[in-house]
């Protein structure tokens, strides 16, 4: 009897945020092991925050990710405000939503055009794609800039915005400043519709997963930074109950903690989850375009997340236009905090999914303990489930094509492996005895 | 002085990867606003915008080639190494990919010069190694020489 072991290293694939490694073992045509390991630094940040004043949290946590700093800022300020019994309302609350619109547009467009589209169009990278589809790349770059512009005006600067503070902002933008954004956002609305139509024309592997979707849900809004945590299997809890229902576990292969719902298991956060749990709260245009391109109110094919990112981009553009239209300059850029000891919980919808923060504070508002649960760590088990499903359907493919579809599956989650470093290594080990 | 943009790429929270930003800090002291100085975390779309700020583009970053720590390298857009270790190319498309994309999209009509500082420590946290601190001073000189030429 001969034993044939083939192992393939697919090295230096940078189209996920940070560093990842995937290992697949197939023995006699049967999948024996699928592991997706990531390395991420939020744990370092948790330790780093301890002993610092509450007011440092938004600026420090914003550094965890250059792609979604607003999400880290929002979850941290909401957690602090919860601890101090404060509530940001009115135009300040609207400005936070507007800032989040900017981040969703930036992040989703970057992922759709430069990272995920090349997978579907058969290009190794955006660079290879740009040689043949310059117009597509330029559409994406211009659309993304519309998001950058919102973050610059509301957040104070493009990357790692500095204007967010507990209680509101350091400075509220003027109506005139916001109105400068309108013409490009009006262009962006049409561009987002074109984008949805473009990506919905891609070819999608025929896979449906029985996900437990988890997202924030608010009675009147598509969720950014407010609401209860709900799931497609009946969970409906306050953000402060997160640790009662979700569990983070250390797994040897990864220095990211793996999340699961207690007594149930893997769950899915991100665009597909938000969409399935909040479809009715999209704008009428976004709903109509979704239906026009053939999406139902629930999408269970993880590869179609690229279309849902397009729908959410359209929503974010329209929501930004609404907020700017109705904006009135607030009397003060922030509300005062009544500082005291306490525990704060905050959750917001990062582009990649729900991001939970928890802080224990002493009587001076100093951070005693910090907990940060990023969306990619929550999706890790679900990503492994998807990889297993995709593998079962694709084992007949040669190793290079198999690697391609597996990498594409990981990118369905736009995994923010969080600015650690930059590699996704795919190892496929086939053993035939 | 020529019309130029200098782009420092890196991450202040990853030890030696702060080198590109340190060079920008020192250039700001010496040159004020005579030229455009940009800090970048490597995000490709903003880098592409930065390319368009001036006809001469000089980029500075920590690199890993296996040379002695602190060594200064000079690359042009025609002779970029395929892969320069983990210090630069923060995300996604990567630094080299973004430069190629910039050329394809016509955003680098006069090309680009990359000044690399050989680095070793990319761990979480602040503070560069001694060799890279010395390399930063040398890189400032190298950038000034590019701008004068």
∠ CA B19-A145-A12, nearest 5°, is: 50
Question: Shortest Cα distance from B52 to chain A (angstroms)?
Answer: 13
Question: Shortest Cα distance from A233 to chain B (angstroms)?
Answer: 34
What per-residue confidence (pLDDT) applies to A404?
Answer: 82
What per-residue confidence (pLDDT) applies to A11?
Answer: 32
Question: Shortest Cα distance from B139 to chain A (angstroms)?
Answer: 24
Question: DSSP strand E in B1-137: where?
Answer: 4-9, 36-40, 56-63, 72-76, 113-118
Least confident of A80-94, A169-183, B25-39: B25-39
Which of B101, B102, B121, B125 would best serve as a mutation to test chain A binding (most A beta carbons within 10 A)?
B101
What per-residue confidence (pLDDT) applies to A255?
Answer: 55
Does the beta-carbon distance from A419 to B91 stay under 8 Å? yes
User: Distances in Å between the alpha carbon of A185 and those of A95, A105, A278, A312?
Assistant: 16, 11, 23, 14
What per-residue confidence (pLDDT) applies to A407?
Answer: 81
Which residue in A has a C-alpha nearest to residue B92's C-alpha? A15
What per-residue confidence (pLDDT) applies to A15?
Answer: 35
Question: Shortest Cα distance from A48 to chain B (angstroms)?
Answer: 9
Q: Are A282 and A222 in contact (CB under 8 A)?
A: yes
Q: How many alpha carbons lie under 13 Å from residue A209 in its C-beta half-sphere? A: 26
Q: How many alpha carbons lie under 13 Å from residue B5 in its C-beta half-sphere? A: 21
Phi, psi (deg, nearest 5) at residue A140:
-60, -45
- Better-predicted residue by pLDDT, B122 or A327: A327
Q: Are A41 and A377 in contact (CB under 8 A)?
A: no
* Long-range contacts formed by A385-389: CB under 8 A, 24+ apart: A385/A209, A385/A266, A386/A207, A386/A209, A386/A302, A386/A412, A387/A22, A387/A24, A387/A34, A387/A36, A388/A31, A388/A34, A389/A207, A389/A209
What per-residue confidence (pLDDT) applies to B46?
Answer: 85
Q: Are A392 and B61 in contact (CB under 8 A)?
A: no
Does the beta-carbon distance from B41 to A159 stay under 8 Å? yes
Residue B92 has pLDDT above 80, yes or no: no
**Mean of the per-residue pLDDT values for chain A?**
88
What average pLDDT score do residues B78-91 get? Answer: 50
Residue B85 has pLDDT above 80, yes or no: no
Report field, pTM of the whole predicted structure over 0.80: yes
Residue B16's closest CA among B57, B64, B50, B48? B64
∠ CA B139-B147-B49, nearest 5°, is: 90
What average pLDDT score do residues A360-387 get? Answer: 91
**Confidence at B11, pLDDT banded by 50, 70, 90:** confident
What per-residue confidence (pLDDT) applies to B93?
Answer: 67
- Better-predicted residue by pLDDT, A154 or B67: A154
Q: How many CB atoms lie within 10 A of CB A128?
A: 16
- Bridge partners (DSSP) of residue A353 are A350
Residue B29 has pLDDT above 70, yes or no: yes
**Confidence at B131, pLDDT banded by 50, 70, 90:** very high
Question: Shortest Cα distance from B109 to chain A (angstroms)?
Answer: 16
- Better-predicted residue by pLDDT, A230 or A26: A230
Residue A78 has pLDDT above 50, yes or no: yes
Does B13 reach chain A within 8 Å, measured CB to CB? yes
What average pLDDT score do residues A119-126 get? Answer: 85
- Better-predicted residue by pLDDT, A358 or A123: A358
For this complex, say whether ipTM is above 0.85: no
Does the beta-carbon distance from A16 to B13 stay under 8 Å? no
Joined tokens for residue A64: 């965890």
Q: Which helix (H) or strand (E) holds A236?
A: strand A236-237
Tell me the pLDDT tens digit for each residue of A232-249: 999 999 999 999 999 987
Give the residue numbers in A contacting B (CB under 8 Å), as ranges. Answer: 12, 14-18, 41, 44, 63, 66-67, 110, 114-115, 125-127, 130-131, 134, 137-138, 141, 144-145, 148, 158-160, 419, 421-423
Q: Which helix (H) or strand (E) holds A372?
A: strand A367-373
Give A-chain residues touching B94 at CB under 8 angstroms. Answer: 14, 422
What is Dmax (Cα atoms) for chain A? 81
Give A-chain residues touching B91 at CB under 8 angstroms. Answer: 14, 17-18, 66-67, 419, 422
Give A-chain residues touching B83 at CB under 8 angstroms. Answer: 12
**Confidence at A254, pLDDT banded by 50, 70, 90:** low
Tell me the pLDDT tens digit for each residue of A182-225: 999 999 999 999 999 999 999 999 999 999 999 999 999 999 99
**Confidence at B76, pLDDT banded by 50, 70, 90:** very high
**Confidence at B1, pLDDT banded by 50, 70, 90:** low
What per-residue confidence (pLDDT) applies to A235?
Answer: 96
- Better-predicted residue by pLDDT, A24 or B106: B106
Does the beta-carbon distance from A422 to B93 stay under 8 Å? no
Residue A190 makes CB contacts below 8 A (sequence gap 6+) with none
- Better-predicted residue by pLDDT, B40 or A11: B40
- Pairing label, strands B56-63, B113-118: parallel
**Mean of the per-residue pLDDT values for chain B?**
86
Among the partner-chain residues B45, B92, B100, the one whose CB lies closest to the CB of A14 is: B92
Does B45 reach chain A within 8 Å, measured CB to CB? yes
- Bridge partners (DSSP) of residue A247 are A260
Does B123 reach chain A within 8 Å, measured CB to CB? no
Tell me the pLDDT tens digit for each residue of A409-427: 888 988 764 433 333 556 6
- Pairing label, strands B36-40, B4-9: parallel
What per-residue confidence (pLDDT) applies to B42?
Answer: 80
**Confidence at A3, pLDDT banded by 50, 70, 90:** very low
Residue A42 has pLDDT above 70, yes or no: no
Does the beta-carbon distance from A16 to B46 stay under 8 Å? no
Does B91 reach chain A within 8 Å, measured CB to CB? yes
What average pLDDT score do residues A21-26 get? Answer: 78
Residue A406's closest CA among A127, A16, A129, A4? A16
What average pLDDT score do residues A69-91 get? Answer: 96
Does the beta-carbon distance from B86 to A421 stay under 8 Å? yes
Between CA A92 and CA B96 the distance in angstroms is: 40
- Bridge partners (DSSP) of residue A221 are none
Does the beta-carbon distance from B93 to A16 stay under 8 Å? no
**Confidence at A359, pLDDT banded by 50, 70, 90:** very high
Between CA A172 and CA A155 the distance in angstroms is: 9
User: Distances in Å between the alpha carbon of A254 and those of A37, A160, A329?
Assistant: 5, 27, 47
Tell me the pLDDT tens digit for each residue of A264-299: 899 999 999 999 999 999 999 999 999 999 999 999
Q: Which helix (H) or strand (E) holds A129?
A: helix A126-132
Does the beta-carbon distance from B93 to A67 stay under 8 Å? no
Give B-chain residues touching A145 at CB under 8 angstroms. Answer: 45, 49
Give B-chain residues touching A148 at CB under 8 angstroms. Answer: 45-46
Does the beta-carbon distance from B45 to A110 stay under 8 Å? yes
Give A-chain residues touching B10 at CB under 8 angstroms. Answer: none
């Amino acid at each position: 009897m001969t034993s044939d072991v083939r192992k393939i290293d697919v090295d230096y694939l940078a189209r996920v945020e940070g560093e990842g490694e995937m290992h697949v073992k197939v023995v006699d045509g049967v999948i024996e092991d699928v592991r997706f390991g990531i390395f991420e630094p939020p744990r370092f940040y948790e330790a780093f925050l301890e002993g610092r004043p509450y007011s440092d949290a938004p600026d420090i946590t914003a550094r965890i990710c250059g792609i979604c700093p607003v999400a880290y800022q929002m979850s941290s300020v909401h957690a602090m405000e919860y601890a101090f019994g404060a509530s940001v309302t009115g135009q300040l609350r609207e400005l936070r939503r507007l800032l989040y619109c900017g981040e969703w547009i930036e992040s989703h467009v970057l992922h759709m055009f430069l990272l995920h589209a090349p997978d579907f169009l058969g290009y190794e990278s955006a660079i290879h794609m740009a040689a043949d589809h310059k117009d597509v790349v330029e559409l994406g770059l211009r659309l993304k800039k519309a998001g950058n512009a919102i973050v610059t005006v509301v957040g104070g600067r493009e990357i790692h915005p500095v204007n967010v503070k507990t209680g509101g902002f350091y400075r509220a933008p003027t109506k005139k400043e916001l109105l400068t954004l309108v013409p490009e956002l009006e262009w962006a609305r049409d561009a987002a519709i074109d984008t949805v139509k473009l990506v919905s024309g891609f070819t999608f592997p025929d896979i449906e997963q029985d996900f437990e979707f988890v997202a924030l849900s608010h009675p009147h809004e598509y969720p950014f930074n407010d609401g209860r945590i709900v799931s497609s299997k009946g969970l409906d809890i306050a953000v402060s109950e997160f640790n009662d229902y979700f569990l983070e576990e250390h797994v040897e292969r990864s220095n990211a903690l793996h999340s699961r719902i207690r007594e149930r298991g893997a769950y899915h956060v991100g665009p597909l989850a938000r969409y399935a749990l909040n479809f009715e709260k999209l704008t009428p245009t976004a709903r109509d375009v979704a239906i026009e391109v053939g999406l139902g109110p629930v999408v269970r094919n993880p590869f179609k997340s690229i279309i849902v990112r397009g729908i959410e981009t359209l929503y974010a553009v329209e929501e930004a236009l609404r907020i700017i239209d109705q904006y009135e300059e607030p009397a003060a850029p922030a509300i005062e905090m009544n500082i005291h000891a306490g525990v704060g919980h905050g959750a917001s919808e990062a582009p990649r999914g729900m991001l939970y923060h928890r802080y224990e504070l002493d009587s001076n508002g100093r951070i005693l303990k910090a907990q940060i649960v990023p969306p990619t760590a929550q999706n890790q088990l679900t990503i492994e489930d998807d990889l297993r499903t995709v593998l079962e359907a694709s084992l007949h493919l040669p190793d290079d094509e198999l690697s391609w579809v597996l990498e594409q599956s990981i990118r369905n989650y736009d995994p923010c492996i969080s600015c650690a470093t930059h590699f996704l290594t795919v190892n496929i080990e086939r053993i035939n005895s | 002085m020529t019309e130029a943009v200098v782009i420092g790429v890196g991450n202040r929270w990853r030890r030696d990867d702060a080198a590109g930003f340190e060079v920008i800090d020192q250039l700001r002291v010496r040159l004020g606003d005579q030229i455009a100085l940009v800090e970048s975390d490597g995000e490709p779309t903003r880098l592409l915008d930065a390319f368009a700020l001036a006809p001469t583009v000089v980029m500075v970053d920590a690199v890993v080639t296996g040379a002695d720590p602190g060594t200064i390298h000079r690359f042009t857009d025609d002779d970029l190494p395929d892969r320069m270790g983990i210090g630069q190319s923060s995300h996604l498309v990567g630094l080299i990919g973004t430069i190629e994309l910039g050329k394809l999209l016509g955003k680098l009509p006069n090309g680009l010069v990359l000044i690399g500082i050989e680095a070793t420590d990319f761990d979480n946290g602040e503070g560069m190694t001694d060799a890279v601190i010395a390399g930063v001073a040398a890189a400032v000189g190298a950038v000034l020489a590019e701008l004068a030429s």
